């Protein structure tokens, strides 16, 4: 039996948002997020709420009448460094539906969206550890543009706190290091060299 063509539709109804949320749950667990955390986020409506924002565009891909993949893209208008972009926030194809052109169909839909919006660049954030995804995007002409560095708010706060808050800790560390250095210097015998 021949396969039906891949159909890609925009996510507009609550039912479609629920389908995308189920696929998002699978994608999240597959990428390493714990099932508990992913389920909690899904049940809190995080995905459904995001999909209702005017700058967020979601599409579902159907293969043989079944939803097997999705793409979520956001409009990044007036980025100070590069200009306007359509940013692929996430693309996912169910494991059983891979290698059938579903991801290409989703990306083709994204190119049409970008053109309708008057945007001439598409960007995608691909984790460096996702080798297959990086190869896929590289084959399609995506190249590295930026290195995105991520840190927790608390880690950054510790490093950028006013110097007074950090200075007492720094003074203590400096004092300990100095005392250690003096202790090592005092316990090291000095050997004098013979005079000529």
* CATH code where residue 85 lies: 3.40.630.30
pLDDT at residue number 80? 61
In a domain, residue 91? The reply is yes
Predicted TM-score (pTM) of the model is: 0.72
pLDDT at residue number 108? 96
Whether 71 contacts 107, CB under 8 Å? yes
Residues 104 and 12 in one domain: yes
Question: Along the chain (196 residues), what's the average pLDDT of each consecutive run of 10 residues?
Answer: 81 92 90 86 85 93 95 81 82 92 95 93 84 88 81 87 66 83 66 53
Residues 131 and 97 in one domain: yes
In a domain, residue 18? The reply is yes
User: Based on the structure, what is the number of domains in the chain?
Assistant: 2
Residue position matching structure tokens 């709420």: 49
pLDDT at residue number 114? 94
Whether 67 contacts 19, CB under 8 Å? yes
pLDDT at residue number 81? 58
Question: What range does the domain containing 29 cover?
Answer: 7-139
Residues 39 and 89 in one domain: yes
pLDDT at residue number 49? 87
Instruction: Give the span between the Cα atoms of 106 and 61, in whole angstroms.
Output: 7
In a domain, residue 63? The reply is yes
Residues 109 and 159 in one domain: no
């Amino acid at each position: 039996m021949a396969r039906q063509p891949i159909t890609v539709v925009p996510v507009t109804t609550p039912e479609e948002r629920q389908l995308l949320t189920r696929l998002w749950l699978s994608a999240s667990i597959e990428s390493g997020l714990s099932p508990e955390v992913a389920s909690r986020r899904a049940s809190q409506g995080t995905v459904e709420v995001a999909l209702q924002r005017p700058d967020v565009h979601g599409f579902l891909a159907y293969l043989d009448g079944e939803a097997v993949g999705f793409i979520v893209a956001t409009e990044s208008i007036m980025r100070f460094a590069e200009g306007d972009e359509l940013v692929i926030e996430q693309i996912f194809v169910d494991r059983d539906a891979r290698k059938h052109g579903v991801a290409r169909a989703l990306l083709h839909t994204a190119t049409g969206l970008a053109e309708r919006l008057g945007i001439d660049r598409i960007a995608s954030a691909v984790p460096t550890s996702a080798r297959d995804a990086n190869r896929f995007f590289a084959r399609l002409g995506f190249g590295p543009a930026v290195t995105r560095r991520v840190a927790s708010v608390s880690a950054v706060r510790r490093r950028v706190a006013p110097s007074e808050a950090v200075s007492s800790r720094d003074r203590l560390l400096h004092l300990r290091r100095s005392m250690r250095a003096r202790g090592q210097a005092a316990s090291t015998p000095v050997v004098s060299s013979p005079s000529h």
